[in-house]
Structure 1
Amino acid sequence: PEGTEHRLTTAYADTPTASSMSEVFDFHTVKPSTFEVGPFTVHTERVAHPVEAYAIRVEHGGRSLTYSGDTGVTPVLDELAHDTDLFLCEAAFTHGKENIPDLHLNGREAGESAARAGARHLVLTHIPPWTDPAVNLADAREAYAGAVEVATAGAVYEI
């Protein structure tokens, strides 16, 4: 999003300069769009979140991966994830516990989004330590009949 370089420079540089981060990283402002990166087609859409946030879909060779980013429930996410092979979807909240609109999804909402989108495989991610992943997994499975699991360090997914 707009201003990312400045925010990162301010947060992480001991003695920030205007080019502290750009000496190491190549920054590009993301907007809702479609663009090419090497052999990949990338689609970005703004999602429901208090600060500017985007979901991303990457396609190549007729296969796709969709990543929700931080979001609340939104039809934009369902549309972007339509018929995706792998849906990496955040599920930070617990159904029935946190109910803060347009901030994060819970496991049930992630499952519902995957079901509406017709995703083939759902992987729940962005689950904080105070949220029980087993509860979110069970909630996602109630809403989504496809393959679903919780992201784990080192996992590999073939698309």
Structure 2
Amino acid sequence: MTADAGGIELTEPELREVTAYAASCAEPALEIFEADRPDDPRPRAAIGTARAFAGGGVRGKALRDAAWAALKAAKDTNTAAAGEAARAAMAAAGAAYLHPLAKATQVKHILGAAAHAARAAELAAGDDRTVGAERLEQAVRRATPVVIEVLNRFPAAPDGGGRVGELIRALDAGLRPTG
């Protein structure tokens, strides 16, 4: 994908790597969702379609459908933690739709899965924010040089978004060079 007016360069291999990163960040949250809804395969399927795209699959209807299904699964949960876990899976599939637009909102496509997974872990631990911080540290370690390089083409994460927005901004700051 080439940049258009006001855009950035973004190649398909980079998009696949960003999606693989998002899927790896979301996957640990599946156990939180599945503890609440053990017979609901939608979030796991969303992560599976994200992994399929990352591995060379098509960026198309299956990804969109899986992302929407995971979002619907989030609404069918019994706990806020399970809902955030399903949103992490939705964000993993949605990472494939990172656009080459130099807009801060696009950072959510890169870091949203990790932030939702961290929030799910916090809530599952009784809203323990140290658990979320630990998950963000894991997400920083998981980030490949390609993911970091792509992130740095975009403006810093935007304000807003409640606790998940705070987690996105903290992760964004942790992945960008300082100084």
How high is the TM-score relative to the length of structure 2?
0.27
Name the larger-Rg structure. Answer: 1
Query: Whose relative contact order is higher, 1 or 2, with alpha carbons under 8 Å and at least 6 apart?
Result: 2
Kindly indicate which of the two structures has a greater share of residues assigned to helix: 2
How high is the TM-score relative to the length of structure 1?
0.29
